[in-house]
Amino acid sequence: MEEVLWSLRGGSLSRDDDVSPIRDDAIAWSHGKSHWDPPPTVDLHPNPDFDNAVLDWNQIALDAIRYYSITEPPEDVGYVSRALAIQSIAMFDTLQAIGDQPGFLVTRDAPNGINADAAVIAAGYETLVKLFPNYKFALDRAYEKALDQVHDGPAEDHGVAFGTKVADAVIEARADDGSDPYGHLERVAGYEPGQYRPTPPDFLEAIQPNWGSVRPFVLTSGDQFRPPPPPDLTSQQYTKDYTEVKAYGERDSDVRTPEQTLSALWWSNDENTYTRVGQWSDIADHLLAEQGRTPLESAYLLTELNVGLADAIIACWDAKYTYDFWRPVTAIREAGQDANPATRPDSDWLPLLPTTPDHPEYTSGHSIIGSLANQVMTDFFGPIPFSATSETVPDVVLTFPNFAAAAIDEAASRIYAGVHFRTSTEAGLLMGEQVGGVVLNAFETFEPNHGGLLI
């Protein structure tokens, strides 16, 4: 495997350094967060280096995810991935129409004399205010500030009207896709060996059991790439997986390296962050800005990436609730029930992360996310090296030789975090490749160099 380099902002980080303070700060930060903590007063300041309305509004979407997606019952990564996909589609389809090209989801005739920036701003705003209504006060301010920079008279007015029209059409097209957070299927917790059950410390009920049945954007259904079942509890593979995560994923593990500890924390991005799908969207934003890509190119990549991530999550959740497999913390504490003499129980075992995600283990969401992102990003940028940051360990910068290495590191991080078995991460990586192939084919005819407006 090619090397992943890590450093501190404004300084160096040696592999011999004691990283326990960084680890402890990250764990304390994530453990101290609450689903119901009210946000601070929020003001939006799009990155001045971007100079790109599409990137600005994708960043504003990440702000909405950070602060206001948590004011509803915990919808987690499914709701977030769908929201990012819808907003990206609205901005992309708006620009496609202005360039007299078909949209990905909706196609409308754009009027003449239209300001494209105003149209993108309106499309980005309109989708977010519908998807995150509790964030409206901050979105309104961002919207007003953004339009103040346009100042284009009737062309601005036409742009706002058209972008709003396209956004409303995109939202309507996804209105009955099965994603209603209040329409969750009832799930009865099981307590047979191998069955998922709520995990310590909070023992919350499993969330989003219906998400695998949400209508995908490009897949035929959530079960299109459903993997085979997880290993039998008495198999050699399960024993190997169990032994690995028990040793490397334990909170006070004496075999996990400092790099592995930081990888687990760096990739976690759970509640009160831009989430694991938002992290890849943020990485894309910065690479697009660094390369000076146009708004249309930016909208194309973000739509392809976010649509792919949304469908990857649907596929992942189909597998999770089909197999309903237990998490390592349960498996290790209850190993005396698994009929496997090689798996010794430890009733006090805790994972590195303070909380285990409250949904079944198989397959790994982070793994399918990273794998899908690798497919899309490599197709667009090529196998380039890149550096990125994380919201859970903000001072640590990781530099990857390519997107494939990042995907592998993200998958392995879940073992070091103590929340996934190896087989689950490998299944997720394969599913990401499979979903990615469908996504790349679906977007091939929409590539900006096939025609359209490069603005």
Q: Encode pLDDT of 401-438 as tens digits.
A: 999 999 999 999 999 999 999 999 999 999 999 999 99
36 pLDDT exceeds 90? no
Q: How high is the pLDDT of residue 151?
A: 82
- Indicate the pLDDT class of residue 273, thresholds 50, 70 and 90: confident
According to the model, what pLDDT value does residue 181 have? 61
> Model confidence at 2, in pLDDT bands (50, 70, 90)?
low
pLDDT, position 271: 72
Mean pLDDT of the chain: 89
Q: 400 pairs with which residues across the strands?
A: 386
Q: Return the pLDDT at 169.
A: 99
Q: For the sheet with 386-388, list strands across it.
A: 5-8, 396-400, 386-388
- In angstroms, rounded to a whole number, what is the distance separating the alpha carbons of residues 75 and 211? 10
pLDDT of residue 121 exceeding 50: yes
Burial of 408 (0-12, 13-18, 19+ CB in 10 A): buried
Task: Look up residue 262 and give its two tokens.
Answer: 């930081």
Residue range 86-100, pLDDT digits in tens:
999 999 999 999 999
**How confident is the model over 40-69, as a mean pLDDT?**
77
Confidence grade of residue 339 (pLDDT, cut at 50, 70, 90):
very high
pLDDT at 49 (0 to 100): 65
What pLDDT sits at residue 453? 44
More confident residue, 31 or 296: 296
Find out whether 261 and 19 touch, Cβ atoms under 8 Å: yes
Query: For 22-32, what is the mean pLDDT?
Result: 55
Average pLDDT over residues 66-85: 76
Q: Looking at residue 311, what is its pLDDT? A: 99
DSSP characters over 3-32: PPEEEETTB---TTS--HHHHHHHHHHHHH
Place of tokens 């209105």: 175
Distance CA 364, CA 139 (A): 33
pLDDT at 8: 56
Give me the percent of the chain exceeding a pLDDT of 70.
84
Residue 148's contacts (CB-CB under 8 Å, 6 or more residues apart) are none
Instruction: Check the CA dihedral 252-253-258-264 and report its sign.
Output: negative
Summarised one tens digit per residue, pLDDT across range 178-205 is 997 655 556 667 789 999 999 999 898 8
**What are the pLDDT digits (tens) for 303-324?**
999 999 999 999 999 999 999 9
User: Which structural domains are found in the chain, ordered by start?
Assistant: 5-39+47-179+193-450 (1.10.606.20)
345 vs 218: CA distance, rounded Å: 43
Q: Specify the pLDDT at position 38.
A: 39
Q: What is the pLDDT of residue 50?
A: 74
| pLDDT at residue 377 in the model | 99
pLDDT of amino acid 51: 85
Task: Give 338's pLDDT tier (boundaries 50, 70, 90).
Answer: very high
Point out which residues pair with 114 in neighbouring strands.
Answer: none
pLDDT top residue among 15 and 124: 124
